[in-house]
Structure 1
Amino acid sequence: MPKRLIWILIIIMTFALIALVILQGYWLKNAFKVKEDHFRQQVTQALTEICKRAESRETIIEISNEMFSLNNGSQNIPEFYNNAMLFDSAKNRIAVSRQSVLFNKTKNIHSNTKITILNGDSVIFNKIISKCKPENFCNNISQIDIGKELKNKMNNKTLFVEKIVNKLLNFNEDISKRLDKSILNAIIESELKNQGVNISYEFAVKNNESKIAYSSINYNPNSKDIYKIQLFPNDLFSPSYFLHLYFPRKDNFIVKSLGYMSTSSILLILIVIFSYTLTLIIILKQKKLSEMKNDFINNMTHELKTPISTISLASQMLKDKSVDKDFKSLNNIAVIIEEESKRLGYQVEKVLQMAIFEQSNFKFRIENIDIHYLISGICNNFSIQVEKRGGTLTTKLEATKLFVEGDEVHLSTMLLNLLENAIKYCDKEPLIVVSTKDANKGMYISVKDNGLGINSEDQKRIFEKFYRVHTGNIHNVKGFGLGLSYVKIICDAHGGSIKIESELNKGSEFIIYLPFKHQKI
């Protein structure tokens, strides 16, 4: 796929994703606002009902106290009574009733009194009196006496109501006595549940100066989004008090009230973002892999072309009759063909090995290997190449436990790859040090050089297949970008690991960890 087309596709996908996220976010924001407005209406309605119930309760208490103490101070007559209070939430009605019986020598008086409060602002007063006379008692009561009696009772009732109204309008008691904290809390909880607001809350009662009269235990005066209403708003001369109410987990409650719509929308957005990110990573990786493969093909062509050309040239020399074909010349041509054939076979074998490793279809010949003996043999043979460059190859074998379970051929090839890179990527006289150290349940093998070094960005990718620090069609150094990838695969296959410490223009150090016991991966 052309590079330009890839970037156009990425831009289109990015724009579509951003638009989708913005639209979903806008929809969720509006849905949240609608739920928040509905929540505010519910709380406002609950506060109104709380205020009504508080006033109704106080009215009932005062009427009851006045009514039931009206005649107690003026009569010394034996009296038996029964009181009852009824609250009907369905009809929003509160009723207080008393039945009493007064005993006298001449008459027994039965009284049934009932007070009903409707909607918090209307009062119905009913009183039924009946009397029972002895069998031999009879007395004529004139119409005038009855009228006077009724007039007196009406006057008494007028005074009774005026007294209660004046007292209610001019209440001067402390708010904690008028409305107990526990009672107010019970009213708040009841009314919030009636409105469908089943959520924790905190409240406080404050005066005009915002001084707290009392509050719930965890009330925070600095909280935002507080709902407020005046308690006992019909008081004329009493100090004003306000109920402050807020909900610490309001946002969570509103989000939960959105239900599956919000959850599914957020989940959809996350899935789309994840899919987009994964797709973008795959596209960029495939693009990079394609570039690396092209680079590999160019490198492979360069690496294979040289030995093929050399062998071809040697063959032509053998055919050419003008060339002297004495024993020495034939021997030189044979040596050239043999060396170039080995070189060609080595490169082909390395590519085939990588293909086999990629399919995880390889087998190891596991045996106990003396690592120091293995390193010494490799370094003795390789030191000739180092000395040709005017450098030195030294060993510091300090590990005390020498034997490791592994495949000798692959471990030898692994070390040879590191030594070849130490010479290949050095622009001066190479100084190479191979060392060993003890490790927990294994040993460290280090190959250190004074070469070009590798920058931090390349260090993250040098163990990837086909990756080379120097890319392009022009190469100062030959290679396929397979050597370090092969080293990493061998380390992993033995249950070990490899890391690099490098600095540009100062050299590199590859540190390999190999366990004593082979761990099949």
Structure 2
Amino acid sequence: MGKKLFVLLIVLMSLSLIGIIFVQSFFINNSLENEDKNFTLSVKRALSFVSNSIEEMELRDAFSKLQPHLNKDTKVDSVKIRQLFITSEDDLNDLTIINRNTVLEERLKVPSLFFEIDADSFNISKLTNERVKEVYSNSSLDGNTSIKPMQRLVEISSMPIIEKQMYEDVIKEYLKDIPIYKRVTTKQVEAFLKRELKDEGIDLNFEFAIYDDDLATKVQTQNFEKEKAYGIPVFLDNNKESNYNLWVDFPDRKKYLISSVLKMGFLSILFTSIIIIAYASAIYQLIKQRQISQIKTDFINNMTHEFKTPIATINLALDSIKNPKIINDQEKVKRYLGMIKEENKRMHAQVENVLRISKLEKNELNISKEHIELHDLVEDAITHVELIVEDRKGYVKMHLNAAESSVLANETHFTNVIVNILDNAIKYSDDAPKIDVYTENVGNNIIVKIADQGNGMSKAVAKRVFEKFYREHTGNVHNVKGHGLGLAYVKRIVEDHQGHISVESEKGKGSTFIIKMPLIS
């Protein structure tokens, strides 16, 4: 995959993920706003019913007190009589029908004690209605002569109950001057609110208060706060106006709204999180695979370079041996055969390194361990590189200060560990390699330090130096022979021996590899 396509793919995936998160956030926020609006509408509807219930209760109570005075012989202040005549003709039967409607309005003085107002009494109207139906025969009518009706029906209805609108107008007019706490109690308002809110599906704790304009009245709960309360006018007068407002506050309103979308929000967050994790994992794997692909490409290039030189050397040696002048020179033939053998061993060693790492990855490498002296392994490993170091005018010095060096290890593999580290110290020293090997005891462990004064490495490289196939890139990736498997092999072998390996390095000042191994008695 090309770099541009790879970057484009990541950008598109990132934008898609951001878009999904944005849509989910918008959807949840929109749902929360809708829940808030529905909650507000439900509360206001409940408050409207509460306002009506309070007014109806007050009017009903007032009339229940007023009713007895309408049924007694109350003092009549004034009387009005209104009459209405309606005449109709029945041509089929030759009849004249006269309907007379008489309304008697008696103005009564009623004591106002039960209304707790300043006046001694107030006036209400008691209405009595009389309806008379008279039927005359037209054939019996003669000028001014009055003939008795053939039929007379009389219906009298007394209306001691004041007509509803008149009743409300009168009562409201007298009640508006009564203190609010005498018109309704806190318990009554609370009962109405509980009932109406429950009918609206709102089961929340609430606080309430009735305010006279901006002043609180005695009708209120203890913890009421007006800041976020819902309000509605109560005790409307005949002009549908009022100075009183009922306010309701819900302390747990936010929790209620959040809980209403909590399940949906939780599922949305859960699935979005899964998408984010999957996305991050996919991106990580893409980057990792890209890195591995690049590393493997470098590895193949390096291996090709490693094999190219010995193959070329072998070919040259074989061509030289075939030369008639050389084939009879036994010393030169032996020399060339020795070169072929060494180069063959070198290629074989490279292949063995690859196979060892492959087997370690699959846990197929059988490592038998035995009781050995680590100092002996160090001395043996140094002999493998001693001639190369001397040839480059360098040195390897041993400082074996550990009193105890007995460990449980595989002699062959652990020798390879020391040789690999020494080989790296030699390869990455531009000048004569200068190597010091130290041992010391720390608790129940032995510490082996292999320090060189070579090129060193940066902190970033030191963090990755034990990764498989990893090699530090320089201007020429083949300036030092290798394929990035040696230190990966070292780390796996040390860890398989329950040990630990680390590196301390500074660019231009050399590196120190530290191996920590458990001692055995």
The TM-score range, normalised by the shorter chain, is 0.5 to 0.7
1:304 counterpart = 2:307: yes
Are residues 505 and 230 of structure 1, via their aligned partners in 2, closer, same or farther at CA, if it must alter by over 3 Å? same
Residue identity in the other structure for 1:35: E
Are residues 483 and 37 of structure 1, via their aligned partners in 2, closer, same or farther at CA, if it must alter by over 3 Å? same
* Aligned with 2:260 (options 250, 254, 264): 254
**Cα shift readout 1:340-384 (whole Å, capped 9, x = no counterpart):** 222221111111112212222111111123223322332355344
Are residues 290 and 239 of structure 1, via their aligned partners in 2, closer, same or farther at CA, if it must alter by over 3 Å? same
SS at match of 1:435: strand
Aligned to 2:121: none
Question: Given that residues 384 and 419 in structure 2 are in contact (C-alpha distance below 8 angstroms), is that contact kept between their aligned partners in structure 1?
Answer: no
**Cα shift readout 1:276-331 (whole Å, capped 9, x = no counterpart):** 33222222222221111111111001111212222222222222111264443333
1:269 counterpart = 2:272: yes
* Aligned with 1:502 (options 505, 512, 521): 505
Aligned to 1:291: 294
**In 1, Cα distance between equivalents of 2:403 and 2:188:** 82
**In 1, Cα distance between equivalents of 2:398 and 2:222:** 78
* Aligned with 1:364 (options 357, 363, 367): 367
**Cα shift readout 1:25-71 (whole Å, capped 9, x = no counterpart):** 44444333333322221222233344445556667777889999xxx
Residue identity in the other structure for 2:198: K
SS at match of 2:325: coil
Are residues 493 and 228 of structure 1, via their aligned partners in 2, closer, same or farther at CA, if it must alter by over 3 Å? same
SS at match of 2:438: strand
1:335 counterpart = 2:338: yes
- Structure 2: give runs of 5+ residues left out of the alignment: 69-157
**In 1, Cα distance between equivalents of 2:269 and 2:405:** 58
Aligned to 1:245: 249
Are residues 385 and 215 of structure 1, via their aligned partners in 2, closer, same or farther at CA, if it must alter by over 3 Å? farther
**In 1, Cα distance between equivalents of 2:417 and 2:260:** 63
Question: Given that residues 209 and 216 in structure 2 are in contact (C-alpha distance below 8 angstroms), is that contact kept between their aligned partners in structure 1?
Answer: no
Residue identity in the other structure for 1:279: A
Q: Which moved more, 1:195-204 or 1:231-240?
A: 231-240
**In 2, Cα distance between equivalents of 1:392 and 1:187:** 99
**Cα shift readout 1:85-126 (whole Å, capped 9, x = no counterpart):** xxxxxxxxxxxxxxxxxxxxxxxxxxxxxxxxxxxxxxxxxx
**In 2, Cα distance between equivalents of 1:250 and 1:390:** 83
* Aligned with 1:227 (options 220, 229, 250): 229
Aligned to 2:489: 486
* Aligned with 1:197 (options 196, 199, 202): 202
SS at match of 1:393: strand
**In 1, Cα distance between equivalents of 2:291 and 2:474:** 12
Question: Given that residues 435 and 453 in structure 2 are in contact (C-alpha distance below 8 angstroms), is that contact kept between their aligned partners in structure 1?
Answer: yes
**Aligned-pair distance for 1:239?**
7.4
**In 1, Cα distance between equivalents of 2:329 and 2:446:** 55
**In 2, Cα distance between equivalents of 1:245 and 1:347:** 81
Are residues 58 and 476 of structure 1, via their aligned partners in 2, closer, same or farther at CA, if it must alter by over 3 Å? farther
SS at match of 1:373: helix
Question: Given that residues 236 and 242 in structure 2 are in contact (C-alpha distance below 8 angstroms), is that contact kept between their aligned partners in structure 1?
Answer: no
SS at match of 1:229: strand
Question: Given that residues 451 and 507 in structure 1 are in contact (C-alpha distance below 8 angstroms), is that contact kept between their aligned partners in structure 2?
Answer: yes
**In 2, Cα distance between equivalents of 1:199 and 1:466:** 65
**In 2, Cα distance between equivalents of 1:212 and 1:370:** 95
1:33 counterpart = 2:37: no
Are residues 161 and 329 of structure 1, via their aligned partners in 2, closer, same or farther at CA, if it must alter by over 3 Å? closer
Question: Given that residues 456 and 511 in structure 2 are in contact (C-alpha distance below 8 angstroms), is that contact kept between their aligned partners in structure 1?
Answer: yes
Are residues 425 and 232 of structure 1, via their aligned partners in 2, closer, same or farther at CA, if it must alter by over 3 Å? same
1:410 counterpart = 2:410: no
Are residues 198 and 340 of structure 1, via their aligned partners in 2, closer, same or farther at CA, if it must alter by over 3 Å? same
* Aligned with 1:320 (options 323, 327, 333): 323
Larger radius of gyration: 2
SS at match of 2:331: helix
**Aligned-pair distance for 1:464?**
2.0
Question: Given that residues 422 and 450 in structure 2 are in contact (C-alpha distance below 8 angstroms), is that contact kept between their aligned partners in structure 1?
Answer: yes
Q: Which moved more, 1:435-444 or 1:481-490?
A: 435-444
**Aligned-pair distance for 1:482?**
0.7
Question: Given that residues 454 and 503 in structure 1 are in contact (C-alpha distance below 8 angstroms), is that contact kept between their aligned partners in structure 2?
Answer: yes
SS at match of 2:467: coil
**In 1, Cα distance between equivalents of 2:161 and 2:248:** 43
SS at match of 1:446: strand
**In 1, Cα distance between equivalents of 2:64 and 2:438:** 101
Residue identity in the other structure for 2:424: N
**Cα shift readout 1:132-155 (whole Å, capped 9, x = no counterpart):** xxxxxxxxxxxxxxxxxx99x999
Aligned to 1:464: 467
TM norm structure 1: 0.68
TM norm structure 2: 0.68
Question: Given that residues 54 and 179 in structure 1 are in contact (C-alpha distance below 8 angstroms), is that contact kept between their aligned partners in structure 2?
Answer: no
SS at match of 2:450: strand
- Structure 1: give runs of 5+ residues left out of the alignment: 69-149
**Cα shift readout 1:414-437 (whole Å, capped 9, x = no counterpart):** 222122222222334444333344
**Cα shift readout 1:462-515 (whole Å, capped 9, x = no counterpart):** 222111112686421111011121122213322333333333223333333334
**In 2, Cα distance between equivalents of 1:401 and 1:437:** 8
Question: Given that residues 400 and 439 in structure 2 are in contact (C-alpha distance below 8 angstroms), is that contact kept between their aligned partners in structure 1?
Answer: yes
**Cα shift readout 1:386-414 (whole Å, capped 9, x = no counterpart):** 44444443344454542222222222212
* Aligned with 1:449 (options 445, 448, 452): 452
Are residues 365 and 38 of structure 1, via their aligned partners in 2, closer, same or farther at CA, if it must alter by over 3 Å? same
**In 2, Cα distance between equivalents of 1:333 and 1:194:** 105
**In 1, Cα distance between equivalents of 2:404 and 2:180:** 92
Aligned to 1:47: 47
Alignment root-mean-square deviation, CA:
4.1
Residue identity in the other structure for 2:178: F
Q: Which moved more, 1:302-311 or 1:42-51?
A: 42-51
Question: Given that residues 425 and 433 in structure 2 are in contact (C-alpha distance below 8 angstroms), is that contact kept between their aligned partners in structure 1?
Answer: yes
Are residues 44 and 428 of structure 1, via their aligned partners in 2, closer, same or farther at CA, if it must alter by over 3 Å? farther
* Aligned with 1:171 (options 178, 195, 207): 178
SS at match of 1:464: coil
